[in-house]
């Protein structure tokens, strides 16, 4: 475990850039004093922000560039235009060169994944990376993946997601053998998605020491906290996450409107405001900000593009924890345990078919 956690920030990413990234870094530094920052972006915009935060300034160095990846760029455009020059690339490059332990960006997700994959490459045994988030549930937190890095994928891909997700959950939740469920729909006997049933058979047959496969979980099983890790391919994971986020925002808006509608409810709100405060904090989308890219030779965290400084600070906290808990080495250990969890999957597949 490194004594200092070195974090490279894309100071041009997101809807706002340095004016959110720098104050966000200052908030996170207040929580974790042993952090050092590499701030990548336009020096003319970073320096005035840094002047407001002397402690951060003392813990940072600037890598100047004025090339930013646009939120509208397609991944291939971003790679073509921004490789070796953009703030996003250079933040990842700091990880590649060993100058930082993690890179964090609020920029364009597709571009960030494309650059991270191109420059860092996937871990041995992993074909395709994943985006992971920690989802608050009725029974604590759940690691959900993939949230959109990879669309589709065979049973082997789902099994590798299960192994990577379990590694992350065991690190975050301090559980030696986290439970893992595969996202599926209720009806058992249905055409399509044979890869999910096949992945279930493989996971059951492998009976890995590092994860406890518990079966299929339906869409509402995520909120119920039925497993420590929920595995799905990226399209579904993205739709599920956003449908849930949308519903939470809808209910929050409804609640706000109703509490303002009459003087009785306004008085009620005053009495119960501590309860509402707690509810707001527990539902705060900022707090679940920070999608971790798994499966790469390096840790990259994606923050929401539209977040504020508080939200960006949470994304930095996520990156900090990943480094502090040595996520990458633990994933590698899990992938290679018992002669390689993933390379033994095809054998298991033959064994059960």
Site for a second copy, rule CB under 8 A: 74-76, 109-110, 137-138, 148, 151-152, 183, 185-193, 218-224, 232, 234-236, 238-251, 253-255, 258-259, 261-262, 264-265, 267-276, 278-279, 282-283
Rounded to a whole number of angstroms, the minimum distance from the CB of residue 315 to a second copy is 18
Rounded to a whole number of angstroms, the minimum distance from the CB of residue 222 to a second copy is 6
3-state SS assignment for residue 340? coil
Half-sphere exposure at residue 271, Cβ-oriented, CA atoms within 13 angstroms: 6
Nearer to a second copy, 220 or 338 (CB): 220
Q: What is the DSSP string of 40-91?
A: EE-HHHHHHHHHT-HHHHHTEEEEE--B---TT--HHHHHHHHTTTBHHHHH
State the Cα–Cα distance between residues 203 and 214, nearest whole angstrom.
9
Rounded to a whole number of angstroms, the minimum distance from the CB of residue 337 to a second copy is 31
Rounded to a whole number of angstroms, the minimum distance from the CB of residue 38 to a second copy is 27
Nearer to a second copy, 215 or 219 (CB): 219
Nearer to a second copy, 35 or 184 (CB): 184
Beta-carbon count within 10 A of 166 CB:
27
Nearer to a second copy, 218 or 338 (CB): 218
Rounded to a whole number of angstroms, the minimum distance from the CB of residue 264 to a second copy is 5
State the Cα–Cα distance between residues 231 and 217, nearest whole angstrom.
9
Q: What is the DSSP string of 101-143?
A: SEEEE-S-HHHHHHHHHHHH-BPTT-SS-EEEEEEEETTEEEE
Nearer to a second copy, 99 or 284 (CB): 284
Rounded to a whole number of angstroms, the minimum distance from the CB of residue 349 to a second copy is 22
Nearer to a second copy, 223 or 308 (CB): 223
Beta bridge partners of 143: 134, 229
3-state SS assignment for residue 211? coil
Half-sphere exposure at residue 145, Cβ-oriented, CA atoms within 13 angstroms: 31
């Amino acid at each position: 475990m490194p004594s200092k956690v070195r974090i490279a920030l894309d100071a041009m990413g997101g809807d706002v850039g340095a004016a959110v990234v720098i104050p966000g870094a200052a908030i996170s530094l207040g929580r974790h004093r042993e952090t050092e920052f590499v701030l990548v972006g336009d020096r003319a915009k970073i320096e005035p922000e840094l002047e407001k935060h002397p402690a951060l300034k003392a813990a940072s160095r600037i890598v100047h560039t004025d090339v930013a990846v646009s939120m509208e760029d397609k991944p291939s455009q971003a790679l073509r235009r921004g490789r070796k020059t953009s703030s996003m690339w250079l933040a990842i490059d700091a990880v590649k060169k060993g100058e930082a332990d993690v890179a964090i960006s609020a920029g364009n997700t597709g571009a960030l994944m494309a650059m991270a994959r191109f420059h860092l490459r996937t871990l041995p045994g992993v074909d395709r990376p994943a985006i992971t988030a920690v989802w608050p549930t009725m029974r604590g937190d759940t690691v959900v993946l993939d949230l959109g890095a990879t669309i589709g994928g065979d049973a082997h891909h789902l099994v590798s997601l299960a192994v990577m997700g379990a590694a992350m959950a065991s690190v975050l939740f301090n559980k030696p053998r986290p439970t893992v469920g595969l996202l599926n729909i209720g009806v058992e006997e249905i055409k399509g998605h044979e890869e999910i049933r096949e992945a279930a058979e493989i996971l059951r047959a492998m009976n890995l020491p590092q994860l406890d496969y518990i079966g299929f979980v339906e869409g509402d099983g995520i909120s119920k906290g039925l497993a420590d890790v929920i595995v799905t391919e990226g399209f579904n994971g993205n739709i599920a996450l956003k449908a849930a986020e949308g519903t939470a925002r809808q209910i929050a808006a409804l609640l706000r409107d109703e509490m303002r509608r009459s003087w009785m409810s306004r008085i009620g709100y005053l009495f119960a405001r501590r309860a509402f405060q707690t509810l707001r904090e527990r539902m705060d989308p900022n707090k679940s900000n920070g999608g971790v890219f798994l499966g790469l030779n390096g840790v990259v965290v994606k923050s929401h593009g539209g977040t504020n400084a508080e939200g960006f600070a949470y994304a930095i906290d996520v990156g900090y924890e990943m480094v502090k808990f040595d996520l990458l080495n633990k994933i590698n250990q899990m992938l290679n345990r018992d002669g390689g969890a993933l390379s033994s999957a095809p054998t298991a597949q033959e064994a059960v078919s």
